């Protein structure tokens, strides 16, 4: 399976206007040229969070084995756990295809001063409902965010990057809120094939959001759900393409990173709060997942 970086996405599209671009964060206004239609290859995963708002045109995309049609006024959301199986667009629609795309790397998102569990809960919602038709009010607010980001990046003052992070943090909560509101509607609709896997996975992710501060084993969550760890792992992997331990670690690491960056809490206290037996075990766990010690991460830019 091919892994696609944010930089790959930037090189893929015919950009009309770029608000910001680097390997971590990018907002682009573009029309798809068509000549690079085989760039990604399938199946693939994008190593980041991507939001695409369709201004005109139409295309089809299959995410986690479910097909979605993206057309005018539709917001398409993609999270790192998603598997993109295929994408297609007719030549007629390709001529009119026009997007605004925002792409954020996982590292950039975890560097924001946000409630990690809320965003990960949003990740869960986005995985379940990746395509949203936006209301007029939602479109107006979304446009306001983009205009503000543009003005910040073009105004000559010292704290542009820090200010942009604040805008992106607020935008992330706005997107999560839209997803959560749609979930109630989605739950009232007939289930598609694989519904049992999804129901169990949603229950698992809700439990992880609630207990990840103290519990990191699949056995704990399997017991809560009256399932065997092996069967729970199979359900989660089948539904999301991401293993149960990977989901647990995502919550734990994001929580630790937020405490390291946005609190003065001693590292020893963070280790205790996250239920590590001692500071040495905590250091090994964090380094294994980030390549850095907790102190190095806290002192990094």
Q: What is the CATH number of the domain that holds 150?
A: 2.60.120.280
How many C-alpha atoms does 285 have within 13 Å on its Cβ side?
A: 21
Q: At what angle do helices 279-290 and 244-262 cross, to 10 degrees?
A: 110
Provide the pLDDT confidence category of residue 188 given band limits of 50, 70 and 90: very low
Enclosing domain of residue 16: 2-115+126-187
Mark whether 30 and 89 lie in a shared domain: yes
Residue 35 sits in the same domain as residue 74:
yes
Instruction: Answer yes or no: are the C-beta atoms of 209 and 120 closer than 8 Å.
Output: yes
Assigned domain for 180 exists: yes
Please report how many Cα atoms fall inside a 13 Å half-sphere around the Cα of residue 214, on the Cβ side. Answer: 4
Looking at residue 191, what is its pLDDT? 42
Same-domain status, 48 and 100? yes
Count of structural domains within the chain:
2
Give the pLDDT band (50/70/90) at residue 22: low
The confidence score (pLDDT) of residue 9 equals: 72
According to DSSP, the residues that pair with 131 across neighbouring strands are: 76
pLDDT of 56-91, one tens digit each?
A: 888 888 876 577 888 899 988 887 767 677 788 877
Instruction: Give yes or no: residues 207 and 254 share one domain.
Output: yes
Which residue, 138, 165, 187, sits at the end of a domain? Answer: 187
User: Do 156 and 27 reside in the same domain of the chain?
Assistant: yes
For 222-238, the pLDDT digits (tens) are: 999 999 999 999 888 88
The pLDDT tens digits for 229-288 are 999 998 888 877 778 998 899 889 878 987 888 788 999 999 999 999 999 999 999 999
Query: Do 221 and 142 fall within a single domain?
Result: no
Looking at per-residue confidence, does 142 or 177 come out higher? 142
Q: What are phi and psi of 38, to 5 degrees?
A: -100, 15
pLDDT tens-digit profile of 166-179?
888 888 888 888 87
CA distances 121 to 24, 130, 180, 193, 209, Å, are 21, 14, 9, 23, 7
- pLDDT at position 1: 55
> Is 181 a residue whose pLDDT tops 50?
yes
Rg of the chain (C-alpha set): 20
Final residue in a domain of this structure, among 146, 168, 187: 187
Chain-wide mean pLDDT for the chain? 79
Q: Is 121 a member of any domain?
A: no
Task: Enter the pTM of the model.
Answer: 0.62
């Amino acid at each position: 399976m091919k892994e696609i970086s944010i930089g790959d996405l930037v090189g893929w599209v015919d950009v009309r206007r770029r608000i910001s671009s680097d390997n971590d964060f990018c907002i682009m206004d573009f029309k798809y040229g068509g000549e690079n239609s085989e760039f990604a290859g399938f199946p693939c995963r994008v190593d980041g969070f991507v939001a695409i708002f369709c201004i005109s045109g139409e295309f089809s995309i299959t995410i986690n084995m479910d097909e979605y049609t993206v057309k005018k006024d539709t917001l398409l959301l993609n999270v790192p756990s998603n598997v993109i199986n295929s994408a297609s667009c007719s030549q007629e629609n390709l001529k009119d295809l026009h997007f605004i795309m925002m792409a954020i790397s996982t590292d950039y998102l975890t560097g924001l001063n946000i409630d990690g569990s809320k965003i990960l809960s949003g990740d869960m919602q986005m995985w379940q409902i990746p395509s949203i038709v936006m209301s007029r009010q939602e479109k107006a607010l979304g446009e306001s965010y983009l205009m503000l980001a543009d003005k910040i990046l073009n105004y000559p003052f010292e704290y542009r990057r820090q200010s942009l992070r604040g805008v992106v943090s607020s935008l992330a909560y706005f997107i999560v809120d839209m997803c959560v509101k749609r979930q109630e509607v989605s739950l009232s609709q007939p289930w598609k094939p694989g519904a049992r896997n999804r129901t169990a996975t949603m229950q698992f992710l809700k439990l992880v959001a609630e207990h990840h501060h103290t519990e990191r084993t699949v056995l704990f969550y399997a017991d809560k759900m009256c399932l065997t760890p092996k069967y729970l792992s199979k359900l989660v992997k089948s539904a999301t393409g991401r293993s149960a331990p990977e989901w647990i670690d995502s919550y734990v690491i994001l929580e630790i990173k937020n405490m390291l960056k946005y609190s003065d809490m001693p590292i020893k206290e963070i280790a205790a709060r996250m239920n590590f037996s001692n500071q040495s075990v905590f250091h090994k766990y964090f380094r294994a997942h980030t390549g850095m010690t907790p102190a190095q991460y806290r002192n990094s830019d």
